[in-house]
Amino acid sequence: MIKNLVIVESPAKAKTIEKFLGSDYKVMSSYGHIRDLKKKNFSIDIDHNFAPIYEIPSDKSQLVAELKKAASQAEIVWLASDEDREGEAIAWHLFEVLKLDPARTRRIVFHEITKNAILNAIEHPRDIDTNLVDAQQARRVLDRIVGFELSPVLWKKIKPALSAGRVQSVAVRLIVERENEIKNFVPEQYVRLTADFIAGDRTLRTEFSHRLPDLDVAEQFLRQCAVSHFSVGDIAVKPLKKSPAPPFTTSTLQQEAARKLGFTVSQTMMIAQKLYEAGHITYMRTDSVNLSSLAINTISREISDNIGAEYLNVRHYHTSSKGAQEAHEAIRPTYIDRHSIEGTSQEKRLYALIWKRTIASQMADALIEKTTIDIDRADASDAQSSIAPIVDGRFVATGEVVKFDGFLKVYLEGRDDEETDTEQSSLPAVKPGEVLDLGNMTAAQRFTSQPLRYTEASLVKKMEELGIGRPSTYAPTISTIQQREYVERGDRPGAKRDVAVLSLRKGKISRRTVSETYGAEKGKLIPTDIGVVVNDFLTQYFPDILDYNFTARIEQKFDDIAEGKLPWNSEIANFYKVFHPVVDNAMSMRLEHKVGERLLGTDPVSGKPVSVKIGRYGPLVQVGEGDKDEKPRFASLLKGQSVQTITLEDALKLFDFPRLIGEYDGEDVTVAIGRFGPYIKHAGAFTSIPKNIAPEEITIDQAIELINEKRSEAQRRVIRTFDDDPDIQILNGRYGIYIAYKKSNYKIPKTVADPAALSLEECRQIIAAQDAAPKKPARRVARKK
């Protein structure tokens, strides 16, 4: 008989909790949800109030049986899944599927996995919050309706296997619209004016307070300055305060980990989940910046004892983000006196970031003294000359000196604007009226910058600002749009341009031209051709689904359902009443051209039209119209080419493939372009051409080298084969030696000293043993909604 059975959703969490509870408690894991909507069916009963139709996946059957058995033997079952909507739904599904007795069931929640938190939760159990469950069901059902009804429209009108989602499609729209802004951006010229003045043996670096419109005006101004006197004008000294950023929410942690650590959004959440489950930090899905009074007290003690009492400034933060959910705490260390932890390098770095941010949030402001020095200019012949200046403005020097570092001693928040700070940290001591000598004055041609593409972190920030998605959905959404190949994370090399620079030195003006790179970006989210075409189609025919305000209103309705203000079924019914007829209309409409198709011109050889479009396997060029008499010709686009920008000339070059480039071992070597990119065909074998080699320029020597590399790799991979059973192979893979049999892989036990010496019979025994073993459910680290 089990006295107490505690069920959590992850084995790592179970392992940590087990350490805090005595022998009277058994802790088991549900490995996430034990049931969900059927994968391949609509699974929503529209005629019965949109009731979801759930199933227990086959890989969870044995686990459910084990949980049922343990629950039937327990005096009390404690449902200890996470305290958010998804966790509440997991607890509810466990209660329903395991047919638990309400009198012997307790729901407990905690936002950190510490002994005190667990014991306190056991002392204060509560009922399952059906409002939170309803909110989760509403999101799940609505997303299933949108995905199941909208995706077939894309299959029919664009290409098979596409998908649409309520939040993912809006995220793609943000990225596509930013790309359109960049394409339509027209840079405006201006001139930036800087000057170095000599004050004794020191240099005073200044910048002109206004931009100049062009180089002609700049040159006239420099000529005036060549015969001018300069002196120190007003000196203003102002005290400034810089305050620390609040503790981390999910969104700000994702953004800061990207800026400071280079982590992707999903990577941050995966590492944060491990830290949480190991008991190192509080719950990592939160939009609250609040800290408990206990946490504030321990942080205050840490600052006073180890940094200094003068650095302490207790602060109480309040959440202001749109639609903030349940009243969690901010993300913080569970034990503030642990400055570091044991773990992987990534876990240590993320923990250190959370620790510093948490400590800094309760520290004093940084006190800064900002000095602004204006430079007066007068004509050399007459200080009171009535000659009108060419431009308004004056040279200004600014500098900052930190008088008290405060929270800066520990932490400074990162920035997304990618601009450098041009201020001097300190300025030379000067007095009003002091005469200055002009050292060098520069007028540099500049151009306004195009909008920046989104990073994963800045996209999260934008989604949060618009009220799209919630802490639990940011990472899955951004991962999904990349997995669906609507968006890719990549670099843009930028382009070169010449800019003119005028310099005034010792009364003489010189001119030079320098080359600069502009528009270069790294690690940015860039829409693919398919992403652009899908977005344009959905925006035109389903404007409400792609509307930012509509999506935000839906999120607000979920919040209202979670608070018990709205019945979830009626909200789904209201949505479906409007949405379903629009889907039916889109399915039945006839389009003159395939969605995304663009006519490039006419093939000069055949006289047939040449167009570019999205095909079954991606973007392609088509020559001909596909009439009954003659089939059209097709060619896939190369990496870096786009449906939006490819020219007729470049499109026709694609039909130069396949091309024969020579012979090797008595067999032809040809280069072709296929579904997965360019490749070499030789002796019935295929070898991919790497990205750094252009398929139209590859030589026979390069091709032979690639062919031989692949042959050598294949030989190293195959360790042993068996003539009596060719389906069984012992192979060397990325993670070590394993057995391959009929498209399945089998791990070789550690007790086998020499895997290469395994006999055929021993291989069969290993295969049979692993086939007979119960399948463990895959651990779910990041939940997808």
Q: What is the pLDDT of residues 652-700, one digit of tens each?
A: 988 888 889 999 999 999 998 876 778 999 988 899 988 788 888 899 9
Residue (of 83, 70, 73) closest to 118 by Cα position: 83
Q: What is the pLDDT of residues 434-458, one digit of tens each?
A: 999 999 999 999 999 999 999 999 9
**What interhelical angle do 474-483 and 456-466 show, nearest 10?**
120
Residues 6+ apart with CB under 8 A from 234: 372, 373, 374, 432
201 band by pLDDT with thresholds 50, 70 and 90: confident
Output the pLDDT for position 421: 47
Output the pLDDT for position 326: 43
Label the pairing between strands 718-721 and 25-29. unpaired
Assess whether the previous peptide bond of 432 is cis (omega < 30° from 0): no
For residue 438, which amino acid is it?
L
What is the signed CA dihedral for 534, 539, 542, 543, rounded to 10 degrees? 160
- Residue 283 annotated to the active site: yes
Output the pLDDT for position 775: 65
Assess contact for 370 and 398: CB atoms under 8 A: yes
Residues 6+ apart with CB under 8 A from 765: none
Paired tokens of 84: 């958010």
Output the pLDDT for position 510: 95
Mean pLDDT calculated for residue range 489-507: 92
Q: How far is CA 204 from CA 58, 85, 194, 457, 541, in A?
A: 74, 59, 11, 38, 60
pLDDT score of 161 more than 90: no
For residue 642, which amino acid is it?
S
Q: What is the pTM of this model?
A: 0.82
Give the C-alpha separation, 389 to 95, whole Å: 81
- The contacts found for 641-649 with CB under 8 angstroms, 24 or more apart, are 642/529, 643/529, 643/532, 643/533, 643/596, 643/598, 643/612, 643/613, 643/614, 643/619, 644/529, 644/532, 644/598, 646/600, 646/612, 646/621, 647/600, 648/600, 648/601, 648/610
Give the C-alpha separation, 373 to 206, whole Å: 9
Output the pLDDT for position 640: 79
Q: Which of 283, 454, 541, 679 is catalytic?
A: 283
Output the pLDDT for position 416: 60
393 band by pLDDT with thresholds 50, 70 and 90: confident
Mean pLDDT calculated for residue range 507-530: 93
Mean pLDDT calculated for residue range 334-355: 95
Assess contact for 317 and 246: CB atoms under 8 A: yes
Output the pLDDT for position 30: 95
Please report how many Cα atoms fall inside a 13 Å half-sphere around the Cα of residue 246, on the Cβ side.
19
Percent of the chain with pLDDT over 90: 70
pLDDT score of 734 more than 90: no
Query: Of the segments 386-400, 556-570, 614-628, 714-728, which one has the largest average pLDDT value?
Result: 556-570
Q: Which H or E run includes 153?
A: helix 130-157
Mean pLDDT calculated for residue range 335-364: 96
Residue 630 main-chain phi, psi, to 5 deg: -150, 135
Give the C-alpha separation, 59 to 65, whole Å: 11
